[in-house]
Amino acid sequence: MSKEIVIGVIPALFIFLAFMGVNIAPLIIGGLLIAIFAYFMIRQSGGSMSLGQKKTKNSVPKTNMKFEDIGGQERAKGELKEALDFLIHKEEAKVYGIRPLKGILLTGPPGTGKTLMAKAAANYTNSAFVAASGSQFVEMYVGVGAQRIRDLFKEVKTQAEKNNQDSGIIFIDEIDVLGGKREGSHHREYDQTLNQLLTEMDGMSTTDSPRILIMAATNRSDMLDDALLRPGRFDRKIVVDLPDKKARKQILNIHIKNKPLGAEVNLDRIAQETYGFSGAQIESVTNEAAIYAFREKSKSIDSKHFSLAIDKVMMGEKTDRETNEQERERVAIHELGHAIISEEVNPLSVSQVTVSPRGQALGYVRQNPREDRYLYTKDYLEKQIMVCLGGAVAEEIKYGHRSTGSKGDFDQALRLVHSMIDSGLSRLGIVKLEMLRKEDIQEESAFILDTLLEETRSILEAKRALMEAGAAILVKEEVLSGDFFRTFSSEEHKEVS
């Protein structure tokens, strides 16, 4: 606003002075000189003269990360090494007329080791390494992002020269922030940043010294602008996925190397229980387990510490929320409902039942996935939905009504129901959710849920005595292990029959 006022006032002042007979020529020349000087100052400082703005430092100290220090990801590591070999053996690649590789895109969920891969790549190829994150480029000021891209290139070259290296790797994390799809004529400041990156990439050639390779990471490659994915730019895409059981065990092994492990700890079992965890979460489990052992002044990190650590990483820290006796009893009944159904539909599936508040939950049942799964049958999904419904049904049987505690369970049950419908596993046949009217989805969801609710109810009604006795112990003990729960269930069963 003040800029507009100044722009308006200055000419008016000049006209007034000229009218009064003052010679304004020196003033105009002086003003012009000041404006030109200011313009160059702004360009020098990266497009903005805003006070206190710091230039981000992107270089990372020489990395000694090796591919062997990354657990699992065998296929991704293999593909990456193969791509990097062109950089190492560039003379041979030239003989075959292979186009120089300019960009490698690593895609996958957060915490799966993409940054580790980029660092290992730099080490493998003896390259200089600089890293930045997409969010660092989002600035209010026009031109700052583009300037930062130029700085990155300058920095990697300087670093390579300093270390006598003839190649450099620039790693850009969260590239989707600056390289998202451009829609319509809507211009964003980071379009300039993206254009600058593309220009720099197009300008890179085999004869450059040092040779530069851009590595970028994202978990939303579908969101990237097509311009980035064109041949000659990021034309190598490597998927870095969540680790399977074998990979989880390798990652555990890497992170317990420097820790005193109890003799009875079964890493195979921990790998099984951490289904769906990323590498970063597994690292966190080993660290949290060590913290629990340290707090207890235990000589070694034992199974119980790992069990607590998995709960913490999965559900969040224990909260101080004080629940009253009645509430605890209701939560215990609710959790027993989940646990009984879980054992009924998948024997040996309960790993632990707890009634201590953690994160958002007041209690929870941890299930043991027996193997990693990538395909779900109708039968499997129905069983999982019944496990979700078990909590609410148990409350209904015991108290005659449900509580708000089942909201999360219902959300999850509905997600599973929708995935059943969307995969052609419902009465509607092969359909797409988007093709259906809301009422049709609702009717089919209600049918599936009602049928499964009935089935869940009849199982729990038959096991009411077990549910109540189990809940009473759970309120006292706070935690029941899966094995205890199974022994207790079979004893109850004998007593009843």
Interacting residues with ligand ADP (CB under 6 A): 70-73, 110-116, 217, 251, 254, 279-280, 283
Shortest distance, position 271 Cβ to ligand ADP, whole Å: 13
Half-sphere exposure of 176 (CA within 13 A, CB side): 13
Cα torsion at 61, 239, 313, 402 (round to 10°)?
150
Shortest distance, position 374 Cβ to ligand ADP, whole Å: 19
End-to-end CA distance of the chain: 84
Shortest distance, position 110 Cβ to ligand ADP, whole Å: 4
Q: How many CB atoms lie within 10 A of CB 93?
A: 17
Shortest distance, position 69 Cβ to ligand ADP, whole Å: 7
Shortest distance, position 385 Cβ to ligand ADP, whole Å: 32
Closer to ligand ADP by Cβ: residue 65 or 460: 65
- The pair phi, psi for residue 211, each rounded to 5°, is -75, 135
The rounded distance, in Å, linking the Cα atoms of 99 and 428 is 51
Closer to ligand ADP by Cβ: residue 72 or 363: 72
- The pair phi, psi for residue 15, each rounded to 5°, is -60, -40
Closer to ligand ADP by Cβ: residue 73 or 167: 73
Residue 330 CA: distances (Å) to CA of 8, 245, 410, 411, 468: 71, 35, 17, 20, 10
- Whose CB is nearest to ligand ADP? 279
Closer to ligand ADP by Cβ: residue 115 or 367: 115
- Choose, from 155, 200, 288, 335, the residue flagged as catalytic: 335
Token readout for 202 is: 């197009």
Q: Please, what sign has the CA dihedral across residues 62, 65, 67, 70? A: negative
Starting at the earlier edge strand, list the strands of the sheet with 350-354: 364-367, 350-354, 479-481
Which stretch of DSSP H or E encloses residue 490? Answer: helix 482-496
Token readout for 176 is: 């989707």
Closer to ligand ADP by Cβ: residue 215 or 293: 215
- 3-state SS of 232-295 is CCCCEEEECCCCCHHHHHHHHHHHHCCCCECCCCCHHHHHHHCCCCCHHHHHHHHHHHHHHHHH
Active site (annotated) includes residue 91: no
Shortest distance, position 243 Cβ to ligand ADP, whole Å: 6
Write out the catalytic residue numbers: 335
